[in-house]
Amino acid sequence: MTPDLSGPVEIVARRLLGHRLVTEFEDRTVVVIDEVEAYGGVDDPASHAYRGPTTRNASMFGAAGTLYVYRSYGIHWCANVATGLAGKGQAVLIRGGRVVEGKQTVVRRRGRTDHLADGPGKLTQALGITGDHDGTSVFRGPVRLAPGPAPDPAAIRTTPRIGITREVDRPWRFVVVSGQ
């Protein structure tokens, strides 16, 4: 079973909620995705792909399922999954999730026992994702995307994207408000 990454990027983003992101480096670590954002191509001023392909964003223009990892604020890594047709530059930013396997390993990587993966930089650290994994396939590579139970649609909130300065009103952030 492979994830379905076809269709408009904002639809794919919402669909990825409940999917799992898996790495198996020192230990198997698994996160259930509960926060994502959609980024478009040359028609989305907030997207890294807006000005066309560059060395950094090349993976965004890859085939659906290509992992795009970039450094944020010079410090953190952020992970995206390219969607749609190659050349479009569309991708879904994986912003957050909850750890369901390998928690002990994640705690060691994060250096703390709370807030393990509730942010894009924290999530990559939790799973051990770095720029080395940029351009790999989430179907066959070291960082895997696997389908999981879809969340209750009533628990999904749609909001504007976080931390951007352009196109700030486009409602392309999707969050699962689980439990609380």
Partner DNA sequence: GTCGCGATAGTCT
Partner DNA sequence: GACTATCGCGACA
Binding site for DNA (CB under 7 A): 37, 39, 46-49, 51, 54-57, 60, 68, 71-76, 78, 80, 91, 93, 110, 112, 115, 119-123, 161-165
Nearest 10 degrees: Cα torsion 39, 45, 46, 48 = 70
Backbone angles phi, psi at 15, to 5 degrees: -65, -30
| Distance between CA atoms of residues 42 and 53, nearest Å | 9
* C-beta of 101 vs 167, nearer to DNA: 167
Helical (H) or strand (E) element with 125: helix 120-127
* C-beta of 30 vs 78, nearer to DNA: 78
Burial degree of 121 (CB within 10 A; 0-12, 13-18, 19+): middle
* C-beta of 71 vs 147, nearer to DNA: 71
Minimum separation from the CB atom of position 119 to DNA (A): 2
Minimum separation from the CB atom of position 40 to DNA (A): 9
Minimum separation from the CB atom of position 148 to DNA (A): 21
